[in-house]
Amino acid sequence: MESGSIQTQRSDREALIERRARREVRSTRLESELVRSENERNERERLTLLLERLLESLADGVVALDFRGEVVHLSDSLREPSLRANPLSPALPEAVLAELRERRYEARIDRPVRFELDWEREDTGERRYRVVGASGEGTSDDGAPQLVVFAFHDQTRERSLEAELNQARNLAALGQMAATVAHELRNPLAAIQGFATLLQRDLPADHTGQRQVHHIQDGVTAANRIISDLLEYCRPLSPRRHAVSP
């Protein structure tokens, strides 16, 4: 009886030790999984931050909308000064936000949506943006994407340069036309000048027609001066560099 009791106690102790060992192994395994999960979460956060910075560097601003159409990310460059001061204000002007909410339904994983957006900014005035929107996987019950990211590219400067280039082309065409017209006008003016000289030679010196001939010659001279100035204005510039004293 006594030896059986001792053996039973020994078996209970061994079972207790085994259970403790299993708990320690399970606890160690859980701790390892927690550490791995924490490392993966930190890595995902670091990668997300890196991707956000990369996207910010490629665009002039980024806006992200969730499936409800609420702003979940907004670049500081797109925040209006009046909306920054009041945290209760909407993240974007209502007109801009309404446009993004409507366009988010057009965004697909394999087919980004592209459109142009005019925005009257408080600090920089009217701006023209080219917006590219891409969605993630999954949609809500109403067909809205779970997440849509809009990248804003400021096209205002490019549009201004295009307008200046078009104006320069128009001026060049106008200058070429003016030069052609000026050359064509010189021929009849030369004929008028020639006939006026012949008339001046044939008339007596004291003839009253001499005054009219002088008026004709003065008019031809003035017209030739205008034509010369016009041709000088239309002539392409050839800048020359040379040293100057300081």
Share of the chain above pLDDT 70, in %: 80
Instruction: Judge whether residue 31 has pLDDT over 60.
Output: yes
Q: Name the phi and psi angles at 204, rounded to 5.
A: -60, 155
Instruction: Judge whether residue 221 has pLDDT over 80.
Output: yes
- Tens-digit pLDDT profile for residues 55-100: 655 678 888 888 888 888 888 888 888 776 666 566 788 899 999 9
For 56, residues 6+ apart whose C-beta sits below 8 A from its C-beta are 62, 75
Q: Read off the pLDDT of each residue in 171-200 and give the average, rounded to a whole number.
A: 81
Under a CB-based contact definition with an 8 Å cutoff, are residues 94 and 82 in contact? no
Instruction: Judge whether residue 48 has pLDDT over 60.
Output: no
Measured between alpha carbons, how far is 141 from 28 in angstroms, rounded to an integer? 43
This prediction's pTM: 0.51
The larger pLDDT score, comparing residue 161 to residue 87, is at 161
Measured between alpha carbons, how far is 96 from 119 in angstroms, rounded to an integer? 7
